[in-house]
A and B are shown apart, each in its own frame.
Chain A
Amino acid sequence: MDIHQKWRIIRILLTTGYLIIGWLVFTGNFSPFSLSIGFLFSFIIAVFTYDIFIEKEEVARRALLPRISLLLIYPFFLIFKIYLASFKMVPAVLTEKIDPRIVHFRTRLKSDMARVLLANSITLTPGTLTLDLNNDHLIVHWLNAKTIHSHYAGKLIKGYFEIWLKKIWI
């Protein structure tokens, strides 16, 4: 058995594992019948979709198995930030004191999942909206632009998100 085949089997098993977690959360039922049905269909779906879910080149261990403890705290942190952002949005709506600009910057995150989450988090927080994400290059629309220098804009916008996501994934 060569290394490509081994990697393929590992990818199928990992996809099955993720799907079973989703099944357990949605059914909330631990009877043997439900578990076996869930396992069977997770496996069938995993055989068809493992290539989309985990790409062939993505081999780092942290990119596939994130740190669960930090990943569970992250949504609360994100929701707290979203509330702060919305309370800043209300005066902007009322007074219309806005100065929108488009800024470009790069991210140091390596895994695809972490980059997607970074882009989503940026869309959800203070007056910023991700327009495009090519590899590590982000284009962001900023409602109250303080600077258009790419390095400082990146620092201000990414802030703690990049540090958190870097700890969770790579």
Chain B
Amino acid sequence: MRLIAYFFLGMGVFFATFGNIGMLRFPDVYTRLQASSKCGITSIISIFIGLIILEGLNSVALRITVITIFFLITSPVSSHIIGRSAYEEGILPWRKEKPKDKQ
């Protein structure tokens, strides 16, 4: 049981690392938001699942579940607001160069 919990905690660290690498490597606002929002929420969910397994089913686990649900609601809203303000400012998304343009 503990091993499964540690596996989930490790997965949380793994996704957080890749989210941050993505934030540094991607070219513009929108793609960076993609990396941070997705991998951030996955790492948080993994860590919470690991904690629930460590804790067992009791009132603490119920509260952790509620916090997870609130995270599921609020995290996309925050990234949506950043993306929306960037879109209304008129920032164009980064586009892959076509092979014709390169020559």
Contact = CB atoms under 8 A, between A and B. Distances in A.
A99 B42 CA distance: 23
B63 A129 contact: no
A159 interface: no
Contact of A101 (B38, B75, B79, B93): B93
Contacts of B96: 98-100
Given A25-B66, A82-B41, A93-B25, A129 B34 contact: yes
Interface residues of chain A: helix, strand, loop or mixed (majority): helix
A79 B45 CA distance: 8
A79 B49 CA distance: 11
A86 B39 contact: yes
Interface of B, secondary structure class, is helix
A123 B78 CA distance: 10
Nearest to A143: B34
B95 interface: yes
Contacts of A121: 76
Contacts of B59: 28
Contacts of B21: 93
B33 A129 contact: yes
Interface string A83-95: 1011001101100
B15 to A, nearest CB: 6
Given A123-B80, A131-B87, A78 B37 contact: no
A130 B83 CA distance: 8
Interface residues of B, number: 37
Nearest to B20: A93
A93 B17 CA distance: 11
A121 B96 CA distance: 26
Which of A96, A101, A121 gathers the greatest number of chain B CB atoms within 10 Å? A96
A9 to B, nearest CB: 28
15 contacts: A82-B38, A89-B39, A90-B15, A98-B26, A100-B30, A120-B72, A120-B76, A120-B80, A123-B79, A129-B30, A129-B80, A131-B30, A131-B80, A131-B87, A139-B87
Interface of A: 25-26, 28, 75, 78-79, 82-83, 85-86, 89-90, 92-93, 96, 98-102, 119-121, 123-124, 127, 129-132, 139, 141, 143
